[in-house]
């Protein structure tokens, strides 16, 4: 029997992977389960609450909050893709995940992470137009353009996930089915394949790299132009308003892209598993928790809308 036939036979026998998760902390599994359960509940309630608030208040039916509502929706999907399985594995004796479930989890993860990158870039462009071209803002940021940008963001996420998903199906796993991670991600999968994964890494470099450069570049250019515009203003009130408007988004972008960049730049070696998991934990679990808090606490319109709704219901 040839090597290729043996690989094909082995891959047909493979029906599941093992997610190691946080095996080095078995004594804390109950405490970790409760902590991440609370984080997940707050994340879902916070993001869905923000979506409901934006939907319910006509004053928030403007591009900035339309993008924010979609960001909250993507955070709900991202958190729900990763956290429930992680919670189950804290208590389950078997940490198995079927091949099909693994592929579905990776697809959902890849789509939501990429979509969030595009939405963050779109929000930066929206702030650039609002601050640098305030008189033209209603003309440029029309409802039609907003919908097109959001459709592009979700389609971009969908196509990017489909590309990597398709190339994952060319792999065979005849050496090991143990994934050194708490969810199915592409780098840990490539580390355990017995197939030459050069093409997969090339696809990551081409597509993921291009998306990162494009979205980060859009954000950096937008905020550089915003900063130059702010510095030209002599009004302290105008400067404070601009900084307040952009502060929440800048904080969210920093929290999201920092760990994301660290993960894909520093996880190529097998020794980087722990750092990789911590970086992944940050932008898949912690950032979706922080986003509604950051945008709510630093946004006067959101606070006013919440206060009005609270008073009506009391």
DSSP for 181-219, please give it: SSS--HHHHHHH-SS--HHHHHHIIIIIHHHHHHHHHHH
Q: How far apart are CA 168 and CA 104, in angstroms?
A: 12
Question: Is 82 part of any domain?
Answer: yes
DSSP for 40-51, please give it: HHHHHHHHHHHH
Residues of the chain with pLDDT under 50: 1-13, 267-271
Question: Is 6 part of any domain?
Answer: no
Q: Which helix (H) or strand (E) holds 56?
A: helix 29-56
Q: How far apart are CA 208 and CA 37, in angstroms?
A: 31
Looking at residue 314, what is its pLDDT?
A: 60
Q: For residue 271, give the DSSP letter.
A: G
* Residue 236 burial by Cβ neighbours in a 10 Å radius (0-12, 13-18, 19+): exposed
Question: Which residue is it, tokens 């079927």?
Answer: 98
Looking at residue 228, what is its pLDDT?
A: 86
- Angle 29-56/287-297 helices, nearest 10 degrees? 40
Question: Is 8 part of any domain?
Answer: no
pTM for this one? 0.89
Q: For residue 299, give the DSSP letter.
A: -
Question: Is 266 part of any domain?
Answer: yes
CA nearest neighbour of 119 among 296, 226, 252, 209: 252
Question: Is 186 part of any domain?
Answer: yes
Beta carbons of 124 and 252 less than 8 angstroms apart: no
CATH number of the structural domain spanning residue 254 = 1.20.1070.10
Question: Is 279 part of any domain?
Answer: yes
Q: How far apart are CA 92 and CA 1, in angstroms?
A: 39
User: Helix, strand or coil for residue 80?
Assistant: helix
The domain in which residue 204 lies consists of: 14-313
Question: Is 164 part of any domain?
Answer: yes
Residue 211 CB coordination number (10 Å):
18
Beta carbons of 127 and 76 less than 8 angstroms apart: no
Q: How far apart are CA 17 and CA 156, in angstroms?
A: 28
Question: Is 105 part of any domain?
Answer: yes
Beta carbons of 309 and 53 less than 8 angstroms apart: yes
Number of compact structural domains in the chain: 1
What are the Cα distances from residue 94, in Å, to 22, 89, 98, 139?
A: 14, 7, 12, 57
Alpha helices in 92-174 (DSSP H): 99-132, 137-140, 143-168
Q: For residue 169, give the DSSP letter.
A: T
Q: How far apart are CA 91 and CA 123, in angstroms?
A: 39
CB environment 68-80: b (16+ within 10 A), e (fewer):
bbbbbbbbbbbbb
Looking at residue 2, what is its pLDDT?
A: 47
């Amino acid at each position: 029997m040839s090597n290729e036939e043996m690989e094909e036979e082995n891959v047909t026998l493979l029906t599941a992977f093992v997610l190691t998760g946080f095996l080095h902390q078995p004594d804390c599994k109950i405490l970790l389960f409760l902590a991440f359960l609370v984080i997940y509940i707050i994340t879902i309630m916070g993001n869905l609450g923000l979506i409901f608030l934006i939907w319910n208040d006509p004053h928030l039916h403007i591009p900035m909050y339309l993008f924010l509502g979609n960001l909250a929706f993507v955070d709900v999907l991202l958190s729900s893709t990763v956290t429930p399985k992680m919670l189950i594995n804290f208590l389950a004796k078997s940490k198995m995940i079927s091949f099909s479930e693994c592929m579905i989890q990776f697809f959902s993860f890849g789509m939501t992470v990429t979509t969030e990158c595009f939405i963050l870039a779109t929000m930066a462009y929206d702030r650039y137009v609002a601050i640098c071209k305030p008189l033209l803002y209603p003309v440029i940021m029309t409802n039609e353009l907003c919908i097109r940008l959001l459709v592009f963001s979700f389609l971009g996420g969908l196509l990017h996930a489909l590309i990597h998903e398709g190339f994952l199906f060319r792999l065979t796993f005849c050496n090991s089915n143990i994934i050194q991670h708490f969810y199915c991600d592409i780098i840990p999968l490539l580390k355990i394949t017995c197939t030459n994964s050069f093409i997969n890494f090339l696809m990551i470099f081409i597509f993921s790299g291009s998306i990162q450069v494009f979205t980060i570049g859009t954000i950096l250019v937008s905020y550089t132009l915003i900063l130059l515009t702010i510095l030209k203003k002599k009004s302290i009130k105008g400067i404070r308003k601009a900084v307040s408007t952009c502060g929440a988004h800048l904080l969210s972008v920093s929290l999201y892209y920092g760990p994301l960049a660290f993960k894909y730049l520093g996880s190529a070696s097998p020794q980087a598993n722990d750092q990789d998991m911590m970086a992944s934990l940050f932008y898949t679990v912690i950032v979706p928790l922080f986003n509604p808090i950051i945008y709510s606490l630093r946004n006067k319109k959101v606070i006013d809308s919440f206060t009005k709704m609270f008073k009506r219901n009391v």
